[in-house]
C-alpha cells in the first residue's frame, strides 16, 4: 500500500486503524492547495478539546482550542499556571513565526548560524527556550505545577530516546508546534476522516492524475550507479528501472548504506551516515475495544474526553522515570502515553459497538525488546486511568522498533528517519542533493525532518527542478 507510516489498515475484520501516525498538524498549506487534496478526498477536523489530561489522583483537565476555556481548566489545577498560559501562547506564536521560515527553506543554514541570526534579531530567548535547551527548561519558564508541566513537556520527547531534561528536546517540542495553519491556529492538531491513510491516498490520487505511476510491494535492492552517477534502481525481483534521476524516500541509513554501492560514496560521508542518531523510542499499540475507555477521572461518555488526545504524563518525574527504565533495558513500567479514541470522532472506522483506540507510547527499551511486555505495561497503565479497558480488548497490535522497521522500513524503528535534535536539524540535517550526482533524498531524513508534513518532499522536488533548469542552461 502507498503511504509509508501514514496509512489506515485493517486491525480486525471491518475495523480500521491509523496503524502508525494518527494526528495531523504540520501538513504544508501550499501542498494541500496545489495538489487539491480536498478534491481528492482529504477531510480533517481540528480536535476540540486538543488534550484530555487525567491525573492519577482522579482530577483531570482539558486543553481546548479556545485559550480562555483552557485558562479556566488550568485554574482548577494551579491558579498561576492559568495566567501563565497566556504568556505561553504568546511565546509560541512568536517562536513559530521566527522558526517556520527555516523549516520551509530548501537550503537552511546550519544550527550555529540560526543561533547567530536569532541573537542578531534580539531573540536569543527563542534559541534557548525553543531550540537548544530542554523541553523541561522551557516549560518550567512558564508553569509551576507538576501536572501542567508534565502535559506540556510531552511534545519535546516525541520519537526521541531522551528525557524532557535533555538539551535539544526544546526543538522537538517547537517542531511539533510549527503547524496548524490549515487548522486555523498555530500548533493545532486534527484528526483525518478515514484515518491517516486517507491523506496519503489523496496524495496518490493527485499524483496519478498528474501521470505518476506507483508500484507497491516492489522493494528497491540497489541504486544503480554508472560513471559516478545514479542511473536507476533494481527492485528485489531483479527488474532494472533505468532513470535520469533517483529520489529516495527511504531513511538516510537505508538509502546510503543499504542501497547505494559502497564505493559510490566518499568514506567521510558514509561515516556521517553511520553516526546519524536514530532512536527507536516509540511503541504504538492499536486496540479494538468493545467499549470506550471509561476514565475514572471523568466517568461515562461518550464525552469530550473521547474526542481529545489523552495525555498520560502527570509530571516531569514520571517522564524521566519512563526514560530511565528504557535506558536500563526495560520497557517503561509507567510509560508516557498519548491515547486517541479514533472511532469516537470517526465512526467510519468501525461498526457500531466496536471502538478503535490507539496508544502512542514511550519508551521502547534500549537494546532489548518484548512486544508482550510492552502490551502488558500499556494495558496496565491504561487500566489505572480507565479500568474497563482490560476486559474490553477484542484485538491488539503492538508495533515496537522491530515491527516498525519490518513494516515501514524505518531503520531501528526511528519514526522520524533520525532524531529531531538541533544537531540533526536545519542545515545539519541531510540535504536533498546527495554526494552522488543524480540521487536525491526526499524523505524525512532530509530537512526539515519528520511528521506528516510534506516539506522534505516538496523541497526535494523544487531542488530537482532547479538542477534540471540549470542543466538546460
Ligand atoms: C508509530 C508512528 C506514529 C507517528 N505519529 C505521527 C503523527 O501522529 N503525526 C505526524 O505528523 N507524524 C507521525 N509520525 C511520523 C510520520 O508518520 C513520518 O514522519 C512520516 O510518515 C514521514 O514520511 P516520509 O515520507 O518521510 O517517510 P515514511 O512514511 O517513513 O515512508 C518511507 C517509505 O519508504 C519505503 N521504503 C523504505 N525502504 C525502501 C526500499 N528499499 N524500497 C522501496 N521502498 C522503501 C517505506 O516502505 C515507506 O513506504 C509517526 C510515525 C510512526 C512510525
pLDDT digits (tens, 9 = 90+) for 377-407: 999 999 999 999 999 999 999 999 999 999 9
Q: What are phi and psi of 230, to 5 degrees?
A: -70, 130
User: Which segments within 30-143 are labelled E, that is strand?
Assistant: 44-46, 51-54, 60-63
Residue 254, pLDDT above cutoff 90: yes
Determine, yes or no, domain membership for 355.
yes
Q: Residues 361-370: what's their mean pLDDT?
A: 94
Pocket of ligand 1 (CB under 6 A): 4-6, 20-23, 26, 219-220, 249-250, 254, 259, 282, 284, 360, 404, 408-410, 415-417, 443-444, 450-452, 456
Nearest CA to ligand 1 atom 44: 219
Distance in angstroms (rounded) separating the CA atoms of residues 75 and 89: 16
Packing angle of the helix pair 67-77, 79-104 (nearest 10 deg): 130
Dist. CA 51 → ligand 1 center (Å): 24
Distance in angstroms (rounded) separating the CA atoms of residues 212 and 210: 6
User: Which segments within 166-306 are labelled E, that is strand?
Assistant: 190-192, 220-226, 229-235, 240-242, 246-248, 282-289
Of ligand 1's atoms, which has the minimum distance to the CA of residue 450?
A: 19
Q: Residues 48-66: what's their mean pLDDT?
A: 98
Determine, yes or no, domain membership for 162.
yes
pLDDT of residue 384: 97
Query: CATH number, domain at 188?
Result: 3.50.50.60
* Per-residue pLDDT tens over the stretch 59-118: 999 999 999 999 999 999 999 999 999 999 999 999 999 999 998 999 999 999 999 999
Residue 272, pLDDT above cutoff 90: yes
DSSP 300-316: SSSSGGGTSEEEE---H
Residue 327, pLDDT above cutoff 90: yes
Determine, yes or no, domain membership for 212.
no
Distant-in-sequence, close-in-space partners of 34: CB < 8 Å, separation ≥ 6 = none
Residue 5, pLDDT above cutoff 90: yes
Distance in angstroms (rounded) separating the CA atoms of residues 437 and 321: 46
Nearest CA to ligand 1 atom 53: 415
Residue 223, pLDDT above cutoff 90: yes
| Cα-based torsion angle of the residue sequence 374, 3, 176, 453 in order, rounded to the nearest 10 degrees | 170
* Per-residue pLDDT tens over the stretch 165-202: 999 999 999 999 999 999 999 999 999 999 999 999 99
Residue 23, pLDDT above cutoff 90: yes
pLDDT of residue 258: 98
Give the residue from 292, 319, 279 showing the smallest Cα distance to 414. 279
Residue 252, pLDDT above cutoff 90: yes
Distance in angstroms (rounded) separating the CA atoms of residues 352 and 357: 14
User: How many domains does the chain divide into?
Assistant: 1
Of ligand 1's atoms, which has the minimum distance to the CA of residue 23?
A: 8
Q: Which residues of 104-119 are buried (b: 16+ CB within 10 A; e: fewer)?
A: eebebeebeebbeebe
Packing angle of the helix pair 455-472, 79-104 (nearest 10 deg): 20
All 3 cell numbers of residue 206?
493527485
Q: What are phi and psi of 45, to 5 degrees?
A: -135, 125
Q: What are phi and psi of 160, to 5 degrees?
A: -125, 140
Determine, yes or no, domain membership for 191.
yes
Dist. CA 415 → ligand 1 center (Å): 7
Determine, yes or no, domain membership for 440.
yes
Q: Which domain holds residue 240?
A: 1-206+218-473
Flag whether the pTM goes above 0.85: yes
Residue 332, pLDDT above cutoff 90: no
Radius of gyration of the chain from its Cα atoms, rounded to whole angstroms: 22
Share of the chain above pLDDT 90, in %: 97
Nearest CA to ligand 1 atom 12: 451
β-pairing verdict for 246-248 and 439-441 = parallel
Determine, yes or no, domain membership for 213.
no
Determine, yes or no, domain membership for 44.
yes
Dihedral (CA of 300, 306, 308, 313) sign? positive
Q: Residues 353-361: what's their mean pLDDT?
A: 98
Q: Residues 306-330: what's their mean pLDDT?
A: 96
Determine, yes or no, domain membership for 211.
no
Amino acid at each position: 500500500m502507498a503511504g509509508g507510516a501514514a496509512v489506515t489498515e485493517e486491525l480486525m475484520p471491518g475495523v480500521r486503524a491509523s496503524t502508525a501516525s494518527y494526528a495531523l498538524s504540520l501538513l504544508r498549506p501550499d501542498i494541500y492547495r496545489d495538489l487539491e487534496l480536498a478534491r481528492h478526498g482529504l477531510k480533517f477536523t481540528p480536535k476540540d478539546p486538543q488534550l484530555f489530561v487525567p491525573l492519577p489522583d482522579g482530577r483531570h483537565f482539558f486543553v481546548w482550542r479556545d485559550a480562555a476555556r483552557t485558562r479556566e481548566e488550568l485554574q482548577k489545577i494551579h491558579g498561576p499556571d492559568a495566567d501563565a498560559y497566556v504568556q505561553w501562547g504568546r511565546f509560541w506564536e512568536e517562536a513559530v513565526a521566527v522558526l517556520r521560515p527555516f523549516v520551509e527553506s530548501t537550503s537552511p543554514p546550519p544550527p550555529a548560524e540560526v543561533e547567530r541570526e536569532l541573537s542578531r534579531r534580539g531573540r536569543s530567548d527563542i534559541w534557548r527556550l525553543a531550540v537548544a535547551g530542554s523541553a523541561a527548561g522551557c516549560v518550567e519558564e512558564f508553569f509551576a505545577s507538576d501536572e501542567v508541566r508534565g502535559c506540556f513537556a510531552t511534545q519535546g520527547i516525541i520519537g526521541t530516546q531522551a528525557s524532557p531534561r535533555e538539551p535539544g528536546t526544546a526543538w522537538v517540542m517547537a517542531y511539533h508546534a510549527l503547524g496548524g495553519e490549515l487548522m486555523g491556529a498555530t500548533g493545532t492538531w486534527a484528526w483525518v476522516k478515514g484515518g491517516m491513510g486517507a491523506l496519503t491516498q489523496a496524495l496518490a490520487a493527485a499524483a496519478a492524475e498528474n501521470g505518476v505511476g506507483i508500484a507497491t510491494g516492489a522493494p528497491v535492492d540497489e541504486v544503480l550507479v554508472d560513471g559516478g552517477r545514479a542511473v536507476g534502481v533494481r527492485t528485489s525481483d531483479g527488474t532494472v528501472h533505468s532513470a535520469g534521476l533517483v529520489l529516495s524516500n527511504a531513511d538516510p541509513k537505508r538509502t546510503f548504506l543499504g542501497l547505494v554501492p559502497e564505493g559510490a560514496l566518499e568514506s567521510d560521508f558514509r561515516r556521517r551516515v553511520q553516526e546519524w542518531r536514530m532512536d527507536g523510542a516509540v511503541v504504538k499499540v492499536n486496540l479494538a475495544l468493545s467499549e470506550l475507555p471509561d476514565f475514572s477521572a471523568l466517568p461515562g461518555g461518550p464525552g469530550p474526553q473521547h474526542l481529545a488526545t489523552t495525555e498520560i504524563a502527570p509530571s516531569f518525574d514520571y517522564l524521566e522515570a519512563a526514560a530511565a527504565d528504557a535506558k536500563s533495558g526495560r520497557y517503561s513500567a509507567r510509560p508516557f502515553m498519548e491515547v486517541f479514541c479514533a472511532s469516537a470522532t470517526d465512526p467510519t472506522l468501525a461498526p457500531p459497538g466496536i471502538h478503535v483506540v490507539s496508544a502512542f507510547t514511550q519508551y521502547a527499551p534500549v537494546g532489548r525488546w518484548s512486544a508482550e511486555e510492552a502490551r502488558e505495561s500499556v494495558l496496565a497503565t491504561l487500566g489505572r486511568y480507565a479500568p474497563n479497558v482490560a476486559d474490553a480488548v477484542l484485538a491488539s497490535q503492538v508495533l515496537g522498533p522491530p515491527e516498525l522497521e519490518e513494516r515501514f522500513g524505518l531503520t531501528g524503528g526511528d519514526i522520524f528517519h533520525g532524531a529531531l535534535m538541533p544537531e540533526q536539524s536545519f542545515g545539519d540535517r541531510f540535504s536533498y542533493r546527495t554526494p552522488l550526482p543524480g540521487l536525491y533524498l526526499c524523505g524525512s531524513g532530509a530537512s526539515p525532518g519528520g511528521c506528516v508534513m510534506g516539506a522534505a518532499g516538496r523541497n526535494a522536488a523544487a531542488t530537482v527542478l532547479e538542477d534540471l533548469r540549470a542543466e538546460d542552461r
